[in-house]
Amino acid sequence: MIESWRWYGPFDKIRLSEIAQTGASGIVTALHEIPYGEIWPLDTIRNRQAEIDNAGLGLHWNVVESLPIHENIKRGTGDLERLFSNYRQSMANLAEAGIHTICYNFMPLIDWTRTRLDAPVKRGGSSLRFDAPQMAAFELFMLRRQEAEADYPEEVRRAAANWFQSSDETARTTLLKSIMSGLPGAFDRYDIDGLRSALKNYEGIDQDELRGNYARFLSEIIPAADDLGMRFCVHPDDPPRDILGLPRIVSDADDIGWIMDQQKSLANGLTLCSGSLGANPANDVPAIARRFADRIHFAHLRNVAKEPDGSFEEAPHLEGDTDMVSLAAALVAEERRREAEGRADWRIPWRPDHGHELLNDAERANHPGYPLIGRMRGLAELRGVMAALGHEKVSYV
């Protein structure tokens, strides 16, 4: 498997020379500075590629994460033909540069949601956390979304009321900042009124309509991906549940099966994110990996520890609720199958997704969830698992 590392380019506090020292060889990045819906120019792609290649560190840009989808495509509004045309041209420019794997998501408005970015963990360090009562407090008492009451059980609503009544303005501001950290793109952030306004754009759009808009996107994009020899891989919802009144449609095995059926092409694939899928108590992540193994083109490997009220915390990579050895075995077994089949692209790129802030990570002000030392620990642990599986040369699945 190809050990890879997410890098935010000029916006990243972590340098390529430091990434090289982790042992990773693949760079997962994007042109975050280009507005959504605009074409990624070939010369801009090549310049970013040259920055990585010419560092002389044995690194290469192997996965795009992500080529973002404009909100109008998700809503099914506006000049869609132009947006689809621009998207296909960006794909063609990436393929011309030799980059053929694109991770993307179809989450409305917000890419991922956490309520705390620095939850303390035992033995030191901090992690990202989704606290269901705090999320409910945000929706019920700060955002004042009327329909939110139906989205949370009574015990969570009671805990939310208790949290809100005991919180001060600093705690509420910190909660808003944490939730806004999941907005896509570099830098748009909302206050409460701004978020209410943004959410209005999705009023009346339910799961069926969002699915219809997604199916149209796939019908416009996957044939072009086939022609270009590209691999598209959708990232699951994070968390895998409706939130802020926004429907989510990539949350479990049934959702993934629906997506794969829309375009029965190898180009229409999956980013296997064990952390996102693992936050849904109904998901058996290794089983999902085995079921969709032939359509997995990229993997995010991390772990979560779930709680009965719907809260979860990001756990060390080999701890938490997902059996990471079984999951890694499923991926290694699929690689062996592809290699035996004679596929040139038989190796699956993966990256250690997120990580605890450890030692002096907190001093660097990295992107939330993307510290240097915490991810390097996860990379090293998972590297050991995969080395053992490869050494044994047996299936394990």
Q: Which residues are catalytically annotated?
A: 235, 273, 300, 353-354, 370
CA distances from 211 to 29, 69, 108, 250, 391 (A): 27, 14, 11, 10, 43
Contact predicate 22/97, CB 8 Å: no
Helix (H, G, I), strand (E, B) or coil at 114: coil
CA geometry: angle 336, 21, 390, nearest 5 deg: 20
Note if the bond before 66 is cis, omega within 30 degrees: yes
To which residue do tokens 């917000």 refer? Answer: 110
Helix (H, G, I), strand (E, B) or coil at 274: helix
Could you tell me the two tokens for 318? 């080999």
- Contact partners, residue 130, CB within 8 Å, separation at least 6: 113, 114, 115, 239, 279, 311, 312, 313
Could you tell me the two tokens for 300? 């995010």
- Contact partners, residue 249, CB within 8 Å, separation at least 6: 106, 207, 210, 211, 214, 237, 255, 258
CA 14, 15, 17, 19 dihedral sign is positive
CA distances from 95 to 7, 110, 240 (A): 20, 28, 31
Contact predicate 375/5, CB 8 Å: yes
Report H helices in the chain: 16-22, 42-53, 71-75, 80-96, 132-137, 154-166, 169-180, 192-200, 207-228, 253-262, 274-278, 285-291, 324-341, 372-392
CA 306, 69, 92, 186 dihedral sign is negative
CA geometry: angle 268, 269, 271, nearest 5 deg: 145
Sheet holding 303-306, edge to edge: 116-120, 126-130, 312-315, 303-306
Cα separation, 167 vs 180, whole angstroms? 19
Q: Distance between alpha carbon 47 and the CA centroid of its chain, in Å?
A: 25
